[in-house]
Amino acid sequence: MTETPERDRPWLIRTYSGHSSARASNELYRTNLSRGQTGLSVAFDLPTQTGYDSDHVLAKGEVGKVGVPVGHLGDMRTLFDGIPLEQMNTSMTINATAPWLLALYIAAAEEQGADRTKLMGTVQNDIIKEYLSRGTYIFPPAASLKLIADVIGFTVAEMPKWNPTNICSYHLQEAGATPTQELAFALSTARAVLDTTKERGELPPEMFGQVAGRISFFVNAGIRFVEEMCKMRAFVDLWDEMLRDRYGVEEEKNRRFRYGVQVNSLGLTEQQPENNVYRILLEMLAVVLSKKARARAVQLPAWNEALGLPRPWDQQWSLRLQQIVAHETDLLEYADLFDGSPVVDAKVAELKAGALDEMKTIERLGGAIAAVESGYMKEALVESNARRVQAIMSGELKMVGVNCFTESAPSPLAEAADAILTVDESAEADQIESLNAWRESRDEAAAKAALAALEQAAKEDRNIMEASIAAAKAGATTGEWAGVLRRVYGEYRAPTGVGGAAGVAAEGLAEVRSKVEQVSARLGRRIKILVGKPGLDGHSNGAEQIAVAARDAGMEVVYEGIRLTPKQIVTAALEESVHLVGLSILSGSHAALAREVLEGLRAEGLGDVPVVVGGIIPKADAEALKAAGIAAIYTPKDFDLAAIMSDIARIVDGSAEAA
């Protein structure tokens, strides 16, 4: 009788989720856990991520859209009601407000009777990549690094099972990073974090190995799964070598590359979206096939994320993909499948060499923070993404259902009436009502005293974690916590990367330039457009590519980056005398924000200025926006930038004739 090989333990199986309210999200978490999920991965809404209460002007239309709103300890209690936190492994994708959300989590866990030393999980807490790709930063880089170090210093001493930062290359790839850039930018960020932690001296030198051992990473895995697997093996080697040679970390276990992953969402398509199931599964292979570089935790997107928010059933489908690979296949019965492969070894060596060269460049610039502040990293990502978009447009980069094999039968999945989850519009009003009730019921004097103590700790450059936990227990809110630190540290606007980015000549752009020149001549001045990102959505890749393409097509472009109010966009349109306003909204708040911009333009006498909108916009919403006066809608299926530029020139020309 053949003896069954001993199997490795599966990775943590998670689903990234959260929406509408703490109560609705709690129900979703408990359902997913009952279906075999082995860890939690919390998605927070944008006001929570950027440090605003739900009733702030910038939160309008954003509450509960891309994640769960958590405004105070009461929300955190509800979020984890019935879930024993001492036994749970919880990942929280939170960055600028990471110290606060961790403080709320600790406070909620201690109310359950949990011992904080036994809490397991992760806060992402990587602000540097937020300046480059995701946009949920608040404070300047130096202050942000200090807050990262505060969390590290506190957790290593108080919560030895907690990962205080996930150095996150996931969003770098979503912003266009090549594998070499993803390696180099992430490891340069890790250097900055480790150097800052060491320099602050909060922990004794003999504990530095423990600090290194608690640093984890969060990566992306794209469809080129062989190259992506080699990238992960390169990460393993480079991290080990850096900790050993640069920092003198002696214990091998403290040099292990520990990472979680969500596979690529950028490559999920609106066209033939059922194909995304296969993309997701193939991308997962990159992070589980190689035992040497296997992920510790995996979360998979859902097949319909290019259409809108996934439903619980869609998340279950992705959960089942993981469970089949982990429990039905024989993958976990074998040693590493690729050790000794000359093909894999050569590719890993190539990626390592490229990453080390790029890291040297960043080091010459003064390190990761200097490379952010100078715009070097951002411009590199914008250029890489432009090359990727051009490769799709030209057909060099094949995408099935997008630029090849486009003939298809109608999809019964995508065309179903309830193919995506729709957030109840009453969720925002309900959350604001709950927030007001919380404020009224708390001990106001205790909350103010706790916030004053937090401010004092920040001003004195002390670790803010204990003060944040005290503020959480005293009833302070997310907006109040962030407001205190905004006063102390100030706010920051990162470089857009558009001005210095080299464009990539797109097929058909010469014809568009000619059209732009003709329309500009009829107008008596060059076509001028405003590309605006209203609300709190920081995913700026699409806006950046539109701005670069419009510039290269011969238009004058006004682009001021992320996180603008509709009023600011209207004011800019008035002051800059633009011919068209383009809004990029990926957070699901397009209906409220686009209408507010339209109303603002009309109030300023600019009702004849056409407005176009791009984003993940369901068909019904698109029809409603057009009925409200939006001139055109662009969704992920509209990947041809030359066609979009031609369309914009046509809309401007038609608007001028109508006027």
Please, which residues bridge with residue 582 across strands? Answer: 531, 612
Among candidates 19, 48, 68, which has minimal Cα distance to 305?
19
Active site residues: 16, 170-171, 533, 537, 539
CB-count exposure of residue 474 (10 Å: 0-12, 13-18, 19+): buried
Cα 103 from Cα 119, distance rounded (Å): 12
**Long-range contacts of range 615-622, CB-CB < 8 Å, 24 or more positions apart?**
615/542, 615/583, 615/584, 615/585, 615/586, 615/590, 616/305, 616/306, 616/307, 616/308, 616/586, 616/588, 617/590, 618/307, 618/308, 618/420, 618/422, 621/590, 621/591
**What does the alpha-carbon distance between residue 362 and residue 343 come to, in Å, rounded to a whole number?**
29
Q: How far apart are CA 151 and CA 109, in angstroms?
A: 17
Whole-angstrom Cα distance, residue 626 to residue 610? 11
Helix axes 98-111, 478-489, angle to 10 degrees: 140
Residue matched to tokens 């409220």: 592
Cβ neighbourhood burial of 159 (10 Å; 0-12, 13-18, 19+): buried
**Taking a C-beta distance cutoff of 8 angstroms, is the pair 147, 200 a contact?**
no
The amino acid at residue 76 is M
Contact (CB, 8 A) for 2 and 292: no
Per-residue DSSP letter, 528? E
Which residue from 288, 513, 275, 491 is spatially nearest to 401, judged by alpha carbons? 275
C-alpha to C-alpha distance for 613 and 569, rounded to whole angstroms: 13
- Whole-angstrom distance, CA of residue 595 vs CA of residue 528: 22
Q: Which two tokens stand for residue 610?
A: 């056409």
Contact 186, 216 (CB under 8 A): no
Give the position of tokens 């259902």. 401
497 secondary structure, DSSP code: S
Cα–Cα distance for residue pair 78/68, rounded to 1 Å: 11
Q: Which amino acid is at 394?
A: S
Q: Which two tokens stand for residue 359?
A: 């890291």
